[in-house]
Structure 1
Amino acid sequence: QRILMKYLVKYEARLEDGTVVSKSEGVEFTVKDGHLCPALAKAVKTMKKGEKVLLTVKPQYGFGEMGRPAAGEGGAVPPNAGLVIDLELVSWKTVTEIGDDKKILKKVLKEGEGYERPNEGAVVTVKITGKLQDGTVFLKKGHDEQEPFEFKTDEEAVIEGLDRAVLNMKKGEVALVTIPPEYAYGSTESKQDAVVPPNSTVIYEVELVSFVKDKESWDLNNSEKIEAAGTKKEEGNALFKSGKYARASKRYEKAAKFIDYDTSFSEDEKKQSKQLKITCNLNNAACKLKLKDYKQAEKLCTKVLELDSQNVKALYRRAQAYTQLADLELAEVDIKKALEIDPENRDVKLTYKTLKEKIKEINKKDAKFYSNMFSKMTKPSAEESKA
């Protein structure tokens, strides 16, 4: 996630002879996106809320050598013209860009309390109003005090964009969340209190009334840690079977975290913990292979092999990861070792056959390349031929 400031300003921009070329009684922008000309974005960073200033703007911070033609209500700005701008900073809001692609935008309307935020698996109580971009309300929940709207995060109880946004909120915070279709209702129509058309960007006003965090490992004693890890592992298995590999991966990671530090465990607890670590990391490696995250798959298999050097599944999956990473020699070492341990394993035998064909193909290409290169080096030039 990335945090930006969104500034609300009023301004009037004039040429040096007093001609008004642009004005607004309220426009919002971030420094990254800017507005009108570079001068505004530079100025707001140094201003206080409610401050009014008069800017004298050199051409390079205005419209430069090109100037600007008249457009709509905006007047023309001649090339290399200076500007005078009356500017008022009305207010600002924090905007958080959420997700790896930063497409979910959360604008804080009212600051929350403290610093704690819900974690994945937390039970949250919210008030939400969902609107289309034209203002049509299609969903309203939790505003009736008799029926608070409560859900568990990371359980697909609400659309993904809303789920992710709530994880970035504090208790009492009110925010406006803009969610693109891929994190909302997608390319299909959705019938809520009003119809959400296909490929709609939706806007939610969200108040996080309260939340109860899912337990972290430090909240639990040893036997509870093992039990919690087992529960998360089973949740991961169910998600994997449903083809939800990214969410399954997160469950396996959480399961492994519960039992990461087992120095205070009894011998019996250590045995259970070791088996759970092996299973969770192996299953997570399978998720990473499905998600084409081969580097992480390789690391997870290596973790398993540090606990059990004879684990055929770990050798097999690591060989798959190495193959995709073009480390064919390392893949061959792993697959050969897996075959030594389990010579009748059908999947391993099939993978070894495919790997050998791949190596053969690469060797053939290499031989051809070096042969061509060698023949070019030894071929006499036209001048040498004449001699």
Structure 2
Amino acid sequence: MEVEKGKGTDVSDVQGEDDLDEEPGEEIESAPPLKVGEERELGNSGIKKKLLNNGIHWETPEFGDEVTVHFVGTLLNGIKFCSTRDNGEPMTFKLGEGKVAKGLDNGITTMKKGERVLFTLPPDFGYGAEGRDGVPPDSIVQFDVELLSWITVVDICKDGGIIKKIMEKGERNERPSDLDEVLVKYQVALADGTIVAKTPEEGYEFYVKDGHLFPALTKAIVTMKRGEKVKLIVQPKYAFGDKGKEATDGFPSIPPNSVLNVELELVSFKPVIDVTGDSKVFKKILKEGEGALVANEGAAVTISYIAWLEDGTVFERKGVDGGQPLEFITDEEQVIPGLDRAAATMKKGEQALLTVSPEYGFGSVVAERDLAAVPPSSNLVYEVEMLDFVKVTTVAL
């Protein structure tokens, strides 16, 4: 059921410097939360909000989000002019697109999930001088509204090319960067529902900077949190453009200029750090360490590791299979520079995979190590665990 939009004034039309200190639809930040049964005007808009039932959590929807609500619209004399409860079907619409009375749009942005309120809308934020079916001109109207749920909608590129609907929120606040390795699951379909790409059950792992399938995927992934699930609507310019894609891996072809619907989950990601700032030593965190402290320079560290060449030849092991771990002081040139610099960035208990270029490894000479010789100008790989570190105190003489 659609509520006919009002012809009155938008909140932004009546706001001057002294009218509303907050954004349209927001309550004054310094005001205490409403208690059940209390009523308050939203700014100086004339819109009144009376709390009938508390909601849960603290988040509220924003303009552009897709909300699902139940509502009953009445005149001040109690005469009903619209209701979703009559047929038991709630209404879903995008806030700020004029699908409902303007005051209702603004009022819903102040609501929490599960909250039920009574909004009283002046004519300017209801149906104005024209009224509507069942609402006389210049009428004050009331809406009994329950916010059932909402989906956050994001225009990723700000041009309508990639629309992201957040179906399930992720964990914490970290998002992957271009260097990180991500594990994702996705299913890609044409507008008619034909599935044209899908990951295996275990997902697919790749480095963000390397890209995958089509540009929209990586653009969306760097906006997501670990565990987040989204639906994307992707326009051709961020998909396969006017060329389309041939049939591969048992999936049908993608016609030119196809709009794609994508279900995407960011299962996890491994942060990758450019340790030296010149892309010569990378650290991929396999397991987060404890606390916030890192070894830094001048620490006595104890590490275990396995080191190998790009062809897989293992040339050194320390602290594994019953062997003794390696102890050294960082920034004292006791190990190769790449290992030294990386160890200084690690937390206790952290496990990481290092890739070290020759400039920060053994350089242009042959290096005889415990298990094999390292050829000149070799790229090295270390799987390292920071077992412990102690800050070394120097005494001034």
Higher relative contact order (CA 8 A, sep 6+): 2
More helix by share: 1
TM-score, normalized by length of structure 2? 0.48
